[in-house]
Amino acid sequence: MVKDLLSVRHLNVGFDHQFGHTAVIDDVSFSIEKGETLCIVGESGCGKSLTSLSIMGLLPKGGRITDGKILFQDHDISHKTTKELSKIRGKEISMIFQEPMTALNPLHTVGHQIAEVLLAHEKVSRNEANQKAVEMLKLVGIPSPEKRFKQYPHELSGGMRQRVMIAMALICKPDLLIADEPTTALDVTIQAQILELIQELKNKFGMSLLLITHDLGVVSETADKVIVMYAGQVVESSETKELFTHPKHPYTQGLIKSIPKMDEDEEELATIKGTVPSPDEMPEGCRFVTRCPFAKDICHQKKPPIVNVGHEVHCWLYSDDNVKGGIPLVDNV
Amino acid sequence: MEQPQLKAGPITFSKPSKKVVSRRSSKILKHKLALMGGIFVAVLILLAVFAPLIAPYSPIRQSYAEALKPPSSAHWFGTDTLGRDLFSRIIFGAQVSLKAGLISVGLALLIGVPLGMISGYFRGLWDDLIIMRVTDAMLAFPSLILALTLAAVLGPSLNHAMIAIGLVFTPNFIRLVRGEVLAQREREYVTAAKASGLKNVHIMIRHIFPNILGPIIVQATLNVAAAIIAEASLSYLGLGTQLPTPSWGAMLAEGQGYLQQAPWISIFPGLFIFVAVISINVFGDGIRDWLDPKIK
Amino acid sequence: MLYYIARRLVLMIGILFLVSVLVFVLINVIPGDPATLMLGQEATAGARAALRQSLGLNDPLYIQYLHWVGGVLHGNLGYSLADHTPVMSILLNKIPVTLELTILSFLIAVAIAIPVGIISAIRKGTAWDYVTTVFALSGVSIPAFWLGILLIYLFSVTLGWLPPSGYVSLTDNPVKSIVLMIMPSISLGIRLSAQLTRMLRSSLLEVMEADYIRTGYAKGLMEKAVVFKHALRNAMLPVLTVSGLELSAFLGGAVITETIFAVPGLGQLIVNAILTRDFPIVQGAILFIAFAVVFVNFLVDIAYSLLDPRISLGGASK
């Protein structure tokens, strides 16, 4: 068995608020091996970002991990204090965020903000740290890094700032990089460049990558493995190629069908009808049941089992009981 | 984007925070405070209105035999240098303080709101060059010193003190109202009203004014508290209410020379100013929170 | 940057001009004869006429104004009606006293506000936060003269630790000077400290929700580093602006404080001049205070632009 770098097991996350508690992430499990890229894909609000923030111990106010484990190099980091986590964050696990415009402190130079990471984790002098920061700026493809080093975030474009974020995240050569929708806020032309840069540096540093995205195009280009999340749960997890060729879950199928294709001249894109239920009115059984074209009675009543169909899918349609009962399998892609 | 109730809050740490009173109870505490403030304000108003019925003695009757008596069952708050009952004087003093607070803020509203509305609605040279610069310049003066000078020029009396305080507070309202009107005039409903040919005055009074009333009420409430302090300050310095009318500020000043023998003469009037002001402030904050759903 | 300062400077000169007009109007255009106001009703008609002549009150108003401003620009603020000493030299005597009081009070205000504001923001919702809220509420509501009297009652009358009033120049006897200033500075500083605490708390709470704070944690910084290196500086920006705007109320408070504690500064000078109707002194002192307020706000603007790199580029490029 290959040793996993990160293994999330049965993660449950909820929010305490003035009316009580709302469970948001339900029993999410996955693992990432060394050097591997895992994508978590899903719509807005499916809990993919919260999953990544739980790993960092950066849940928004009121959020907490209610159950499950997050094993990083075989240590459970799910209930560590800020102090303990600060030794891991930025050094072993780094994260870049969706909004490079606001993720940088407007009052410090970018160079300072990059060097700061190194100073926090390693015994280096201010000079060495600055030098290393300039090297990192060069590495992430920022022209005239010495000049940029002294500039403030508002003097850089969005793409530049995301490069700065990447430099900051990688300066300590972490084992795992978490990228939460790193290209969503950027111009389309810049998106591919940033993605390419992340890939390139990932290979160069031999890191693992956890990429959070809603964009299946990004997934197909980067991921080794994919987790599809819906309403706080994993609905399907698979190798990338397998997922695109044999998507099983009706939701995954819907997502794949809704990707615009260059070669086809479709009049309108397929969409998934309906909306995601809010966390307080989750259906009893399968959470996708309100939007699923194949929903059966059982789907309304019981949480779907995990079925191995060459990869794992959480759906009643593939359970043995159903197959025996003569319900047709769905495989129309 | 996460679910609506998961708005990004400040970062919390995975360690469970100790002794954190939930947000709900902090909200309730704020409500309670505001409610208490409201009750105190109501009591104060009742005291002022029914002062002649409540006060056990005349506020101005002097009795040298009774001078400088400490608090007792006969004189709850003791007596002053002239043997007047302090409790009675404080209750009548509430009349002066509330009157000063309300009338001076009323005056500031009367001048400030129309000027602010005109300034914000029509913009232009008049607004930018005259109103805004003049209020800028006025705000450079400490309002207390301005009020003092005005009161001195007009001659010391309660009425003049109220006029002085009112004039000095006017820029607050001009600026507030102007800012609010500026925000409102860009709204669709104003454009729609203009498009349907309504007169400017009509739009200002019937459409914009009701929409900016909330902030005006809040500002006015908080300014009443400030005006009460200002009147007390003027009276303390001898430029406000004149003897023998009982005023909290003047009573306090009178007692300062007798701190050793009769500290109650200063302590009780000051306590009432403090309680009145803090109640109105808390009440005003409460109205603001109630009007603004965004504030947590 | 220079462009920004230049623009601010022009704006400041404009406001100073208006301030001077206001001061002039305040004293000269109020209904009634200034000479009567200045001398009081009892003065003889001849004395009044003489004063009108000597003050140039028979000239048209704008001439009077230009005359006065001309004097101000040459450092001549007129002469005291009481003993004909130049107002300027009286002010120069009083300014250091008020300066000492205000600086000490400001230091006290900041020394309380910064730690208390930070802790209550970071420990929001705890008992400590409630104590802070009550302190802030009381601090902005307590009348300075009452607080002053309570302090005198407690520390001078009851405990006998501090002298109730008086002033010694800092250069004559620094220790005694500071000791005498303790109570006045507290009673003047407490209101400002309450306001700054409130501001800092809410501004810090807002900043702590910013994305770059999350980035700070994601980098592996400790809470202390995040708060002090990243949050505090951002949170101080609005607080800085507010302290500038509060300066005028702060100097107004000095009038009361100096009266309570018999501190012979500008505030006491103004009150006495008002009570004795020595209007040239009032005029000069108010003008000085307003100039000081405008000038300090100008400095605050400059400081702000130095602290916030987004501003210095501002005006010209974006």
Instruction: Inform me whether the C-beta atom of residue B232 falls under 8 Å from chain C C-beta atoms.
Output: yes
Q: Best interface-test mutation with B: which of A82, A184, A287 has the largest number of B CBs within 10 A? A: A82
* Paired sense of beta strands A208-213 and A233-239, if any: unpaired
Predicted local distance difference test score (pLDDT) of residue A112: 94
Give the C-alpha separation, A39 to A32, whole Å.
Answer: 10
Structure tokens at B238: 């001898």
CA closest to C307 among chain A residues: A107
Q: Which of A22-26, A275-279, B257-261 has the lowest mean pLDDT?
A: A275-279
DSSP state of C179: H
- Map residue A123 onto helix, strand or coil: coil
Q: Which of A17, A86, A180 to mutate to test the interface with B (most CBs of B within 10 A)?
A: A17
**What is d(CA C316, CA C3) in angstroms, rounded to the nearest whole number?**
8
* Contact between B148 and C274 (Cβ < 8 Å): yes
Interface test with C, best of B2, B11, B24, B273 (most C CBs within 10 A): B11
Instruction: Give me the mean pLDDT over the A8-22 stretch.
Output: 87
The whole-angstrom separation of Cα B28 and Cα B24 is 6
Return the pLDDT at B2: 34
Residue with tokens 């701190």: B259
Q: What is the 3-state secondary structure of C275-294?
A: HCCCHHHHHHHHHHHHHHHH
Residues in CB range of C215: below 8 A, 6 or more apart: A97, A103, A104, A105, A165, A168
- Of residues A229, A188, A191, the one with CA closest to residue A210: A229
Q: Please give the average per-residue pLDDT across C215-219, as a whole number.
A: 93
Tell me what the mean pLDDT of segment A255-276 comes to. 70
For the segment A177-199, the average pLDDT, to the nearest whole number, is: 90
Instruction: Give the least confident one: A188-197, B14-23, B237-246.
Output: B14-23
What would the mean pLDDT of C228-239 be, rounded to a whole number? 91
Lowest-confidence segment of A206-220, B132-146, C89-103, C184-198 by average pLDDT: B132-146
Is C296 part of the contact surface with chain B (CB cutoff 8 Å)? no
Structure tokens at B215: 């902030």
Is the CB of residue A202 less than 8 Å from the CB of residue A30?
no
In single-letter form, the type of residue at position A249 comes to: H
CA dist., res. C287 & res. B164, Å (int): 18
B5: confidence class by pLDDT, cuts 50, 70, 90: very low
Distance of residue B296 Cα from the nearest chain A Cα, in angstroms? 11
Task: Please give the Cα distance from A235 to A304 (Å, whole number).
Answer: 9
pLDDT, tens digit (0-9, with 9 covering 90-100), for C249-285? 888 899 999 999 999 999 999 999 888 878 889 889 9
The model's pLDDT over C177-195, given as tens digits with 9 standing for 90+, comes to 899 999 999 999 999 999 9
B16 neighbourhood in chain A, CB within 8 Å: 64
Scanning the structure block, which residue is given the tokens 């702590």? C208
The string over A85-121, giving b where at least 16 C-beta atoms fall within 10 Å of a residue's C-beta and e elsewhere, is: bbebbbbbbbbbbbbbbbbbbbbbbbbbbbbbbbbbb
Say which amino acid occupies A278.
S
* pLDDT tier for residue C33 given thresholds of 50, 70 and 90: low
Chain-wide mean pLDDT for chain B?
A: 82
Answer whether A57 sits within 8 Å of B14, measured CB to CB: yes
- Nearest CA to B60 out of B229, B266, B241 is that of B241
Average pLDDT over residues C224-243: 90
- Among candidates A16, A61, A279 on the partner chain, residue whose Cβ is nearest the Cβ of B3: A279
Average pLDDT over residues A258-268: 64
Measured between CB atoms, which of C220, C233, C309 is closest to A87?
A: C220
CB-neighbour burial class of residue A2 (10 A; exposed 0-12, middle 13-18, buried 19+): exposed
pLDDT at A325 (0 to 100): 43
Sequence-separated (6 or more) residues with CB below 8 Å from residue A303 = A285, A286
pTM, whole model, 2 decimals? 0.83
- Residues of C within 8 A of A116 (CB-CB) are 219, 221, 229
Task: Inform me whether the pLDDT recorded for A28 exceeds 70.
Answer: yes
Domain ranges of chain C: 35-76, 91-280
Alpha carbons A82 and C217: distance in angstroms, whole number: 8
pLDDT cut 70: percent of chain A above it: 92
Q: Which two tokens stand for residue B199?
A: 């007169």
**Chain B residues touching residue A25 (CB < 8 angstroms):** none
* pLDDT confidence tier of residue C318, bands split at 50, 70 and 90: very low
From chain A, pick out residues whose CB is under 8 angstroms from the CB of B11.
58, 60-61
Minimal Cβ distance to C18: which of B21, B137, B278: B137
Q: Among C1, C206, C207, C219, which would you mutate to test the A interface (most chain A Cβ atoms within 10 Å of its Cβ)?
A: C219
CA B271 – CA B263 distance, rounded (Å): 12
Q: In this predicted model, which residue has the larger pLDDT, A145 or B67?
A: A145
CA B262 distance to own-chain centroid = 30
For CA atoms B177, B183, B189, B193, give the dihedral sign.
Answer: positive
Mean pLDDT of chain A: 87
Question: Domain C91-280: which CATH class?
Answer: mainly alpha
Task: Please name each of the domains of chain B with its CATH number.
Answer: 22-50+101-291 (1.10.3720.10)
**How high does pLDDT run on average in chain C?**
86
Q: How confident is the model at residue B26 (pLDDT cuts 50, 70, 90)?
A: low
Over the stretch A288-317, which tens digit does the pLDDT of each residue have?
Answer: 888 888 888 888 888 888 888 888 999 888
pLDDT at position A261, please? 66
**Which chains sit next to B, with 3 or more Cβ pairs under 8 A?**
A, C
Confidence of residue B296 (pLDDT cuts 50, 70, 90): very low
Q: In sequence order, which ranges of B186-242 are alpha helices (DSSP H)?
A: 188-195, 200-202, 209-236
pLDDT at position A126, please?
Answer: 94
Interval C38-77: pLDDT, tens: 666 677 777 777 777 776 777 777 888 888 888 888 888 8
CA A249/CA A226 separation, integer angstroms: 13
pLDDT(B22) > 60: no
Residue A322 pLDDT > 60: no
- Could C15 and B137 be called an inter-chain contact, meaning their C-beta atoms sit closer than 8 Å? yes
Calculated CA dihedral for residues B247, B250, B251, B255, nearest 10 degrees: 170
Q: Does the structure show a pLDDT above 80 at A97? A: yes
